[in-house]
Structure 1
Amino acid sequence: MASKKSLKSRLQDGEKLLGHFLLSFSPELAEIAARAGFDFIIVDMEHGAGGIREALHCIRAIEAAGCSTVLRVPDISQAWAKKALDLGPDGIMFPMVETGRSASEAVSFCRYRPDGVRGCAYSVVRDSNFGFDDGYLGNYADKLFIMCQIESEEGVKNVKEIVAVDGMDCVMMGPRDLSASLGILNDPGNPKLKSVMRVAETAVLASDPANGGAYLAGMARAQDKTGDLRARGYHVVLGSTDVSLYKKAVVDEVNAFKA
């Protein structure tokens, strides 16, 4: 079986990628989403109910369907990054990155010494195929896609230094937390939010991913559909969550019956 292309290499080849958030930690829903044609699935350990063991089951289901997995960890933590990366995902997402220093720390948690501080158990963890991958240490960093979320006013203020961090591949915008930090919680159409979002978007898109810059990722919303984000230059778009799709489907069915 031919190995699939990494997310990083696909973006380098000019592809636009569509992702899906998995909060339910259901391997069945993960596999369905993968087979539907999403480019990658984010298994969300920040807001989802599952942990490391449940995430592993989802990764296996996603891989079986030929798709890629990104794990979103709960915070910028060496311990969480180590546990997540040892499972062998294709990428990792760190939430609430607000400074270049925190982005640098996140990257260091993904690299073995001397390039970082990741704990060394590479001969026995799934990331190296339990030691069967003889070339693992030579290419693990090239394959891993590192995403940092900008979700606050402070993060937008420091976006240029975040983008400039070596090894950080992608800036993921977080409009909901960003709106909360601006004092306009649950007001996604607020002009202030749009203006601040544009500042961050412009800074990321002005960088060159091939020369130390970053790719731009974002979540589709009612105000910003997948096509809108793609048209604005986003390289990576998150289209939906499993929970929201299921909620809409069951509400529509119940309402249709009661009508």
Structure 2
Amino acid sequence: MHMPRNGFKAALAKDATHYGIWAGFATGYAAEIVASLGYDWMLIDGEHAPNTVPSVLNQLQTVAPYTTAPVVRAVNGDASLIKQLLDVGAQTLMIPMVETAEQAQALVRAMRYPPHGIRGVGGGLTRATRWDGVDNYLNTAHEQLCLIVQVESRLGVENVAAIAAVEGVDAVFIGPADLSIGLGHAGNPGHPEVQERIKHAIDATLAAGKVSGILAPNEDDARRYQAWGCRFIAVAIDISLLRQSALATLARYRPAADTQAPSRTY
């Protein structure tokens, strides 16, 4: 059996913009709806959605027949958790709150087998190897794995050039919400200081020869970040879409109790 191809990693090598959607419901049924819509990629969120390794596995299995590529965000950079997520078949991982090149290097090691890393061998126990069905998996697994590091703090942006330069880091993803609050502008990623830091992070990532991504559900933000060079942009969040659509539908029949505009942060 051949190694399963990582469609997301292959797409990043092309000079095009790839539009994604956050999947936050933590169920295979909802994830399949999202995967059937035609987005280029989807983020199965293990940081802020109530996901566990078994629920991530369920969603990976559910969306496998679709062309939308799954990206799994871990709750943190713990090497043991990374091992589990890789073993259940995640091929693209996003790790939040990366602030130094040393952190990025440790994440690369967590995704690779010795002598180049520390990933433990699960062999026939793991979906990643198709239960020992993939030929030469131990020596070729890294070819289809993709590591996205998330830069979303003042320190992370200060170190973004060194982070992006780490061999084995495939892309840098900017988190406007955490960055804005860390800079003292809670809920306001449009603040000039935040925007300057985002632009700096994008420029530094591109200068390192890596791909830059960002979360931008607001269309004006998404188009600006695309013009700045972001190549994979999450332009929607499934939970937010449900809430906004439900409120808009109710408002057609009675005055809306909640008139707040959709947030630009998420």
TM > 0.5 fold call: yes
Greater Cα shift, 3-12 or 76-85: 3-12
Alpha-carbon distance in 2 for matches of 1:122, 1:92: 20
Alpha-carbon distance in 1 for matches of 2:51, 2:208: 35
Gaps of 5+ in 1: 209-213
Alpha-carbon distance in 2 for matches of 1:26, 1:16: 27
Counterpart in the other structure of 2:232: 236
Aligned residue for 1:64, secondary structure, equals coil
The number of aligned residues is: 254
Provide TM-score, normalisation by structure 2.
0.90
Alpha-carbon distance in 1 for matches of 2:139, 2:39: 29
1:255 Cα deviation (Å)? 1.2
Counterpart in the other structure of 1:8: 9
1:224 Cα deviation (Å)? 4.4
Note if contact 1:220-1:238 (Cα within 8 Å) is conserved in structure 2: yes
Note if contact 1:4-1:66 (Cα within 8 Å) is conserved in structure 2: no
Alpha-carbon distance in 2 for matches of 1:204, 1:115: 24
Alpha-carbon distance in 2 for matches of 1:48, 1:126: 23
**Corresponding position: 1:189 with 2:190:** yes
1:5 Cα deviation (Å)? 5.3
Residue identity opposite 2:227 in structure 1:
A
Note if contact 2:173-2:213 (Cα within 8 Å) is conserved in structure 1: yes
Counterpart in the other structure of 2:118: 117
Counterpart in the other structure of 1:37: 38
Percent identity, aligned pairs only?
29
Provide the aligned C-alpha RMSD in A: 1.9
Note if contact 1:100-1:165 (Cα within 8 Å) is conserved in structure 2: yes
Note if contact 1:68-1:89 (Cα within 8 Å) is conserved in structure 2: no
**Corresponding position: 1:92 with 2:82:** no
1:59-79 Cα distance to aligned partner (Å, 9 max, x none): 111112233211100111111
**Corresponding position: 1:49 with 2:45:** no
Counterpart in the other structure of 1:211: none
1:57 Cα deviation (Å)? 1.2
Q: 1:235 to 1:122 in 2, by over 3 A?
A: farther
Alpha-carbon distance in 1 for matches of 2:65, 2:211: 27
1:207 Cα deviation (Å)? 2.2
1:119 Cα deviation (Å)? 1.3
Which runs of structure 2 are paired with 1:1-259 in the superposition (5 Å)? 6-208=7-209, 214-222=210-218, 224-259=220-255
Alpha-carbon distance in 1 for matches of 2:220, 2:138: 40
Alpha-carbon distance in 1 for matches of 2:14, 2:181: 36
Note if contact 2:28-2:58 (Cα within 8 Å) is conserved in structure 1: yes
Gaps of 5+ in 2: 256-266
- Off by >4 Å, runs of 4+ in structure 1: none
Alpha-carbon distance in 2 for matches of 1:229, 1:61: 31
